[in-house]
Amino acid sequence: MKKTINIPLGSQHISLLEPVRFKFECENEKIVGVDSDVGFVHRGVEKACTTRFKYDAVGYVVARVCGLCAITHSLSYTVAIEQLLDVEVSKKAKYLRVLLLELDRIHSHMLCLSHTCESAGFEAMFMRIMGDRELIMEIQELLTGNRIQFDYISIGGVNRDISLETAKKIVNSLDIVKQKVLGYIDEFTNNWSLSLKFKGIGALTLDEAYRFNAIGPLARASGLHIDVRNEIEYLPYKELGFKMQTHTDGDINARNIIRLNEILNSLEMCNNILAGVPEGEIVVKSKGKPSGESLVRFEAPRGELMYFVKGNATAMLDRVRIKTPTFSSIPAFSHIFMGENYADAPAILASFDPCLSCTAK
Amino acid sequence: MRKIKVALENIVDEIKDFYDYKLWHFLTINGVALEDNKLEVQWIFSKYEALDDVMVYYVECDYKDLIPSVVEIIPSAIISQREIIDMFGVKVEGSEKGLYLDEDSLQAPLSGCSI
Amino acid sequence: MFSLNKYRKKSPWILHYNAGSCNGCDIEILACLSPKYDLERFGVINTGNPKQSDIFLVTGPVTFRSRERLIELYTQMPEPKVVVAVGSCTCTGGVFRDMYNVEDGIDIYIPVDVYIPGCAASPELIIDGVVQALDILEKKTKEMEIPFKLFKEATTKKGITSRRESALKIGENDEKN
């Protein structure tokens, strides 16, 4: 007699924003086997980057790989091209790039936290965080003109300047956000019903994190010191006060705490940038066509993002390889599900903060 | 970015000698279509907590060649291997196709030539 | 008597499906349901069950693997139903047009009632689109209530009998009676 039952999750499910299908093999309540299908969103961006668009337009195309970390995608691609063209970007443009990168990280982490709460059945917290997230979205609209997909980064710099009044408004909003985030930290650490849903569930040990090459908040929650912001010198993260956040538990609660602490750190960095935006041009003109190979890594909200660009001295590129964070975390995801209760699966999945449109490109 | 060229038959041994899972972070497997129906396959690693230290092992091979699997050394490489099968139409030991592409999709879209 | 039709307009339920979009429109839909924009003041609620929903929000240019799911979800929804295409790529393919694994827009597969442009479509536009969809839903409900066989002959096109055509439009005069 067959003792296990197969329960599917997806491709369309209330707790999923995007189509992904997991097939759980369950023994009573316990998950003993996981099969995943992540290819629902495959569109063929990599091919289009080398056949349909010229190199100066690709930066706006790759932003459409993912709406949540669009800025990291366009930044990584642009930096790769700038390395091939030998363009030196002004310090002001670099600061503005970090500002947008960190604002994007804040709103993405807030979305993930609210979604984790919703999956655990805490609807009020979902509404609260989503409501406060609008403050960050307003800042982004103020800075770039659009809420999402803001095509802010161009080859050689950024597309819009920041005025003194905007900076003042942003600082005020960031202060409000900081107070709200401190409130969440209290809620996430002290709320008893949330601890029942989050503590000790979906744990990944440090050794497993090494073995499965986990990245982003997932790895840092297990105590693995990996953060690309610490491993690149291109952006001035050191002088802006970047601190790596790590935790040792590796469960859902640890991931939430990591995200909350990272929001606080990002807010601090944003404030540091706004306190002293350097003088200078925002765009430097570039000449020539890209040739050669370059490999660029950046820290997206979900982990490490890698771009490999190969040019051949014409307007069309030879190869654009996009390695997205969720793509390399899928083996770790599947491993974490083993031995957990099926009822916890949506909350565990939400705590990974998966981005399937990144994964499948 | 340091690049080291390896022969196709030696790649697994080379990576086995090199890869220490607490020192090196495995990024991905990448393929680049070259001229004359050749393919460059890269295994990309980065060092934990080091500044811009990226190591690339690469081989040049034909589309017909069987690319050896590194899953026994690096368990998370399985998804990269499945991707390279779909995108380039090559064969990789012990991995099946169908991660992204359906039956009626364009097969091997990035290969740069018809196979 | 309890009338379902009266309440359908007051609380339509939304089904959301991502057919290959970049997430941008999806998080804007989520933002619509959150306190600032608050689509729920129209009685709208997001549900995961196609059999209980009235408005179908689709994002993304249909990718090859999501075609079957899209049609499956559409057919499982009960009549009357309204389809809203959210975002440029859902309407026409947008930036993904002519990529090898996408179909250009969802209207190749299912009939669309409201098109919302924008990359990403802003919450104001989405609310506007959903409010328009409510009107269409009401109109469709009224159309359904009319016993269409009584008014006109069924038309035949290419050997297929269509009763949709024979329905009396709202405000149209009844010729037979």
In the predicted model, is pLDDT for residue B115 greater than 50?
no
CATH topology of domain A5-360: Cytochrome-c3 Hydrogenase; chain B (1.10.645)
Q: Which of A46, A211, A297 sits opposite B75 (nearest CB)?
A: A211
Same domain, C109 and C160: no
pLDDT (average), residues B62-67: 82
In the predicted model, is pLDDT for residue C147 greater than 80?
no
**Cross-chain residue pair B46–A44, CB shorter than 8 Å:** no
Among A93-107, A269-283, C4-18, which stretch is predicted with the lowest mean pLDDT? C4-18
Same domain, C128 and C152: no
**Cross-chain residue pair B48–A327, CB shorter than 8 Å:** no
Per CB-CB distance under 8 Å, the chain A contacts of C69 are 11-12, 19, 40
Confidence of residue A45 (pLDDT cuts 50, 70, 90): confident
Check CB contact of B30 with chain A, cutoff 8 Å. Answer: yes
Contacts of B52 (CB under 8 A, 6+ apart): A231, A232, A233
Task: Show the tokens assigned to C125.
Answer: 């536009």
Q: By CA distance, what is B105's nearest residue in C?
A: C101
**Cross-chain residue pair C34–A133, CB shorter than 8 Å:** yes
**Cross-chain residue pair C21–A67, CB shorter than 8 Å:** yes
**Cross-chain residue pair C63–A133, CB shorter than 8 Å:** no
Task: Show the tokens assigned to A307.
Answer: 């771009």
Q: Which of A212, A308, A321 sits opposite B75 (nearest CB)?
A: A212
Same domain, C107 and C174: no
For position C3, what pLDDT does the model report?
A: 63
For position B111, what pLDDT does the model report?
A: 76
**Cross-chain residue pair C64–B102, CB shorter than 8 Å:** yes
How far, in Å, CA of B59 to CA of B78, rounded? Answer: 18
In the predicted model, is pLDDT for residue C9 greater than 80?
no
Number of domains present in the structure of chain C? 2
**CA–CA min distance A317, chain B (Å):** 12
Q: Are A322 and A91 in contact (CB under 8 A)?
A: no
CA distances from A335 to A196, A338, B88, C72, C148 (A): 22, 6, 28, 31, 57
Check CB contact of B100 with chain C, cutoff 8 Å. Answer: yes
Check CB contact of B74 with chain A, cutoff 8 Å. Answer: yes
Check CB contact of B101 with chain C, cutoff 8 Å. Answer: yes
Check CB contact of B6 with chain A, cutoff 8 Å. Answer: no
Domain-wise residue ranges, chain B: 2-92
Best residue of A20, A40, A51 to probe chain C, by most C CBs closer than 10 Å = A40
Check CB contact of C100 with chain B, cutoff 8 Å. Answer: yes
In the predicted model, is pLDDT for residue C49 greater than 80?
yes
**Cross-chain residue pair A64–C22, CB shorter than 8 Å:** yes
Contacts of C72 (CB under 8 A, 6+ apart): none
Other Cβ atoms within 10 Å of A334 Cβ, number: 17
pLDDT (average), residues A248-274: 88
H or E element: which one contains C84? strand C82-86
How far, in Å, CA of A86 to CA of A287, rounded? Answer: 9
Environment class of B68 (CB within 10 Å of its CB; exposed 0-12, middle 13-18, buried 19+): middle
Q: Are C144 and C168 in contact (CB under 8 A)?
A: no
The ipTM assigned to this model is 0.86
Q: Which of A43, A131, A137 sits opposite C63 (nearest CB)?
A: A43
Residue for token pair 């064969």: B91
Same domain, C102 and C158: no
Q: Which of A14, A43, A134 sits opposite C96 (nearest CB)?
A: A43
In the predicted model, is pLDDT for residue A284 greater than 70?
yes
**Cross-chain residue pair A41–C66, CB shorter than 8 Å:** yes
Domain that holds residue C32: 4-145
In the predicted model, is pLDDT for residue C139 greater than 70?
yes
| Closest to A33 in 3D by CA, of A23, A19, A48 | A23
Q: By CA distance, what is C103's nearest residue in B?
A: B105
**CA–CA min distance B26, chain A (Å):** 6
Check CB contact of A67 with chain C, cutoff 8 Å. Answer: yes
**Cross-chain residue pair C61–A17, CB shorter than 8 Å:** no
Same domain, C128 and C167: no
**CA–CA min distance B99, chain C (Å):** 11
Q: Which of A211, A231, A318 sits opposite B52 (nearest CB)?
A: A231
Same domain, C154 and C127: no
For position C166, what pLDDT does the model report?
A: 61
Check CB contact of A124 with chain C, cutoff 8 Å. Answer: no
What does CATH list as the number for B2-92? Answer: 3.30.460.80
| Closest to A318 in 3D by CA, of B35, B64, B75, C96 | B35
Best residue of B99, B100, B111 to probe chain C, by most C CBs closer than 10 Å = B100
In chain C, helix, strand, coil percent, each to 5?
A: 40, 15, 40
State the count of interchain CB pairs (< 8 A) between A and C.
128
Same domain, C61 and C129: yes
Among A10-19, A173-182, A320-329, B70-79, which stretch is predicted with the lowest mean pLDDT? A10-19
Helix axes A164-190, A252-275, angle to 10 degrees: 160
**Cross-chain residue pair B100–A310, CB shorter than 8 Å:** no
Environment class of A353 (CB within 10 Å of its CB; exposed 0-12, middle 13-18, buried 19+): buried
Check CB contact of B102 with chain C, cutoff 8 Å. Answer: yes
> What proportion of chain C, given as a percentage, has pLDDT over 70?
80
Domain-wise residue ranges, chain A: 5-360
List, as one string, the DSSP characters of A14-54: TT-SS--EEEEEEETTEEEEEEEE-GGG---HHHHHHHTS-
**CA–CA min distance C149, chain A (Å):** 37
Contacts of A44 (CB under 8 A, 6+ apart): A361, B106, B109, C99, C100, C101, C102
Check CB contact of A330 with chain B, cutoff 8 Å. Answer: yes
Residue C63's CATH number: 3.40.50.12280
For position C148, what pLDDT does the model report?
A: 54
H or E element: which one contains B55? strand B54-62
Q: What is the sign, positive or negative, of the torsion defined by CA atoms of B103, B108, B112, B115?
A: negative
Q: By CA distance, what is C67's nearest residue in B?
A: B102
pTM strictly above 0.90:
no
